């Protein structure tokens, strides 16, 4: 109803889990990194917990997209089952045959064990995922633990991922389940978005829906945090209703009055008051108690998101939960930037250095300094300067230069297809996250630059130490909004037609001039040829692939 009023292509705050609207906050990236680290180990249990609506499903979907080859997955979405029913469900998911009249747990366990041994002999790994695991009884949890007893000298033959609400942690802390708890090799509790993360979250969803102007002021965003507690699902519901109210009033921006009216409509008076008391009232009391000290702490709050980083000079290092700290008495100093380097496409050496056996980066740097240097290196690939003061606005800095930022989770294959230098979220040997800029990638090795340091490592090593998250820059078509819908009219559609005309189709033939109704099919044909999702809409990935065929100077990971 309000889409046309706000120049939106679609509803930005639907609660459906559309991957196009995925916003990976710092907490989501940390959760994914912990899960991937646990999945690549040889342990038994991985645990992901969080309140309802915090994005556990989002993290799990990202995990599925990054699963290594050679893994068989079984899903249990309804854990309110008896032990026998759970075992039968596992058999059904893995395609294990068993007699329809079987009532013995032993027969089902034996069938599963035979399957696990066969899978192991073929070099494959088996993973069982249990959603809403807080609903499991202690008897069923004990049966699940017994499934992990089958093992070799090197690893367990079954790995189990349990996803659930905070009650799951309480359940696993019971003395009778201590044997299971001791087998958990990776765990993460996903909390709500912080006050600083809500603005980028809202603006990201609006941008995907086609709107770049500011609809929610900083004051309104702060109130959204107080009203929702930072729960993404509640943020979506509240923002959707607030946009509707603003549309009815004929306004372009959501104000406080409209926001609180929307909160009363979706949460109810009592619920709204309780939510505000948890957020706004506690904030007021905290300010009254801490006075000026609260202002001091403000500057040392961990920042969120690669494209939403804020940096403050401080004699103490700013750290995240899993970061290493430098000695407090030593003030971290960022060296003077080195001269700008030419784009990778003009600086690829004919000989690739021999890959090293491990990644050796200065992981003891504070996170914000690490990211600042990574951004400086990334912008240098586009022959653009990047100063320390730009660290709070890297995406705006990109827009000023006619570029845009893209943050995704994927594989080396998908990154190689995009063929642009990127900042990668890496994990060192101790599981500590750090960031480095990938400037070259071939079939066997990857080259990173960290300011003036260059290191080449094997792709196998990179696969083991990469969380799957990356951020890159790409060139925006001049003055156009992306995505471009070929079935519409406008200069951006004319531009899209001009880009496709010189390119051969799937059969390698030059196409005839494109009629309006044929442009969508031409886009789909190009997407299929490039290995993209053939939806006929020119989004960022399609535009990036199109621009790889142009004569514009663009840095690449590898020559086409």
Task: Specify whether 34 is located in the same domain as 64.
Answer: yes
Residue 151, domain member (yes or no): yes
Task: Specify whether 58 is located in the same domain as 94.
Answer: yes
More confident residue, 7 or 505: 7
* pLDDT at residue 354, rounded to an integer: 53
Quick check: 224 pLDDT over 50? yes
* pLDDT at residue 350, rounded to an integer: 40
Task: Specify whether 39 is located in the same domain as 186.
Answer: yes
DSSP reduced 3-state for 285: helix
DSSP state letters, 362-388: -TTS-HHHHHHHHHHHHHHHTT----G
Q: Using pLDDT thresholds of 50, 70 and 90, give the confidence band for residue 484.
A: confident
Quick check: 197 and 26 in contact, CB under 8 A? yes
Task: Specify whether 126 is located in the same domain as 139.
Answer: yes
Task: Specify whether 227 is located in the same domain as 279.
Answer: yes
Residue 269, domain member (yes or no): yes
Report how far residue 439's alpha carbon sits from residue 460's, in angstroms, rounded to the nearest whole number: 17
Q: Could you tell me the CA-to-CA distances from 341 to 327, 376, 560 in Å, in that order? A: 32, 10, 21
Domain finish residue from 190, 209, 228? 190
Task: Specify whether 86 is located in the same domain as 135.
Answer: yes
Quick check: 261 pLDDT over 50? yes
Beta bridge partners of 93: none
Burial of 45 (0-12, 13-18, 19+ CB in 10 A): buried
Mean pLDDT over 339-351 rounds to 39
* pLDDT at residue 508, rounded to an integer: 52
Rg (CA), the chain: 26
Dihedral of the CA atoms 446, 449, 454, 457 (nearest 10)?
A: -20
Domain that holds residue 97: 26-190
Instruction: Give tens-digit pLDDT for 135-184.
Output: 999 999 999 888 888 887 777 889 999 999 999 988 988 888 888 888 88
Quick check: 210 pLDDT over 80? yes
Out of 144-158, 314-328, 441-455, 526-540, pick the least confident: 314-328
Quick check: 282 pLDDT over 70? no
Residue 466, domain member (yes or no): no
Out of 136-140, 440-444, 485-489, pick the least confident: 485-489
Task: Specify whether 60 is located in the same domain as 209.
Answer: no
* pLDDT at residue 424, rounded to an integer: 93
Task: Specify whether 148 is located in the same domain as 45.
Answer: yes
Residue 455, domain member (yes or no): no
Instruction: Give tens-digit pLDDT for 530-548.
Output: 888 888 888 888 999 988 8
Q: Using pLDDT thresholds of 50, 70 and 90, give the confidence band for residue 447.
A: very high
Task: Specify whether 108 is located in the same domain as 219.
Answer: no
Residue 294, domain member (yes or no): yes
* pLDDT at residue 298, rounded to an integer: 32
* pLDDT at residue 277, rounded to an integer: 39
How many Å from the N-terminal Cα to the C-terminal Cα in the chain? 45
3-state secondary structure 32-66: HHHHHHHHCCCCCEEEEEECCCCCHHHHHHHHHHC
Task: Specify whether 242 is located in the same domain as 159.
Answer: no
Q: Using pLDDT thresholds of 50, 70 and 90, give the confidence band for residue 480.
A: low
Residue 392, domain member (yes or no): no
* pLDDT at residue 231, rounded to an integer: 92
CATH of the domain at 118: 3.40.50.300
Task: Specify whether 153 is located in the same domain as 70.
Answer: yes
Q: What percent of the chain has pLDDT over 90?
A: 23
Residue 130, domain member (yes or no): yes
Residue 164, domain member (yes or no): yes
Task: With 0.85 as the threshold, say if the pTM is over it.
Answer: no
Task: Specify whether 200 is located in the same domain as 131.
Answer: no
Instruction: Give tens-digit pLDDT for 58-74.
Output: 788 888 877 877 888 88
* pLDDT at residue 234, rounded to an integer: 94
Report how far residue 105's alpha carbon sits from residue 90's, in angstroms, rounded to the nearest whole number: 12
Q: What percent of the chain has pLDDT over 70?
A: 78
Instruction: Give tens-digit pLDDT for 110-138.
Output: 999 999 999 999 988 899 999 999 999 99
Quick check: 560 pLDDT over 70? no
Quick check: 346 pLDDT over 80? no
Quick check: 301 pLDDT over 50? no
* pLDDT at residue 479, rounded to an integer: 57
Q: Based on the structure, what is the number of domains in the chain?
A: 3
φ and ψ at 156, to 5 degrees? Answer: -75, 145
Instruction: Give tens-digit pLDDT for 379-392.
Output: 999 999 988 777 77
More confident residue, 255 or 356: 255
More confident residue, 430 or 325: 430
């Amino acid at each position: 109803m309000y889409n046309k009023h706000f120049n939106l292509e679609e509803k930005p705050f639907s609660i459906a889990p559309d991957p196009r609207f995925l916003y990976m906050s710092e907490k989501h990236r940390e959760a994914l990194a912990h899960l991937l680290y646990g999945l690549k180990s040889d342990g038994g249990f991985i645990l992901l917990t969080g309140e309802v609506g915090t994005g556990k499903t989002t993290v799990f979907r990202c995990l599925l997209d990054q699963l290594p080859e050679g893994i068989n997955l079984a899903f249990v979405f309804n854990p309110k089952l008896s032990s026998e029913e759970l075992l039968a469900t596992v058999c059904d998911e893995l395609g294990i045959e068993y007699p329809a009249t079987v009532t013995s747990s032993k027969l089902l366990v034996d069938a599963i064990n035979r399957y696990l041994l066969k899978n192991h002999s073929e070099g494959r790994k088996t993973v069982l995922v249990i959603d809403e695991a807080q609903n499991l009884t202690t008897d069923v949890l004990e049966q699940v633990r017994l499934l992990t007893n089958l093992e070799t000298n090197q690893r367990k033959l079954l790995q189990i991922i349990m996803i659930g609400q905070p009650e799951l942690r309480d359940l696993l802390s019971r003395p009778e389940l201590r044997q299971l708890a001791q087998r958990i090799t990776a765990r993460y509790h996903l909390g709500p978005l912080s006050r600083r993360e809500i603005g980028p979250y809202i603006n990201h969803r609006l941008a995907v829906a086609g709107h770049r102007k500011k609809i929610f002021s900083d004051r309104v965003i702060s109130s959204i945090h107080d009203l929702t507690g930072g729960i993404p699902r509640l943020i979506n519901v509240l923002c959707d209703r607030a946009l509707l109210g603003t549309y009815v009033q004929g306004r372009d921006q959501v104000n406080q009055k409209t926001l609180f009216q929307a909160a009363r409509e979706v949460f109810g008076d009592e619920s709204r008051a309780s939510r505000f008391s948890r957020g706004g009232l506690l904030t007021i009391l905290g300010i009254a108690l801490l006075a000026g000290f609260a202002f001091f702490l403000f500057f040392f709050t961990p920042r969120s998101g690669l494209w939403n980083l804020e940096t403050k000079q401080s004699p103490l290092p700013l750290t995240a939960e899993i970061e290493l700290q430098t000695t407090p008495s030593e003030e971290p100093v960022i060296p003077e930037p080195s001269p700008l380097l030419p784009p990778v496409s003009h600086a690829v050496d004919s000989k690739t250095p021999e890959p090293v056996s491990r990644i050796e980066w200065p992981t003891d740097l504070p996170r914000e300094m690490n990211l600042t240097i990574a951004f400086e290196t990334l912008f240098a690939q586009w022959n653009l300067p990047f100063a320390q003061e730009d660290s709070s606005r890297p995406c705006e800095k990109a827009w000023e230069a006619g570029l845009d930022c893209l943050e995704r989770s994927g594989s080396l294959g998908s990154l190689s297809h995009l063929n642009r230098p990127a900042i990668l979220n890496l994990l060192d040997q101790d599981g500590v996250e750090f960031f480095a800029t990938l400037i070259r990638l071939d079939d066997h090795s990857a080259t990173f630059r960290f300011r003036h340091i260059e290191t080449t490592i094997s792709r196998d090593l990179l696969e083991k130490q990469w969380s799957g998250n990356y951020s890159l820059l790409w060139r925006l078509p001049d003055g156009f909004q992306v995505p471009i819908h070929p079935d519409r009219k406008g200069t951006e559609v004319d531009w899209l037609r001009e880009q496709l005309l010189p390119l051969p189709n799937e059969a390698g033939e030059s196409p005839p001039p494109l009629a309006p109704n044929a442009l969508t099919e031409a886009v789909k044909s190009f997407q299929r040829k490039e290995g993209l999702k053939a939806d006929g809409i020119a989004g960022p990935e399609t535009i990036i692939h199109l621009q790889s065929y142009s004569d514009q100077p663009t840095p690449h990971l590898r020559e086409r």
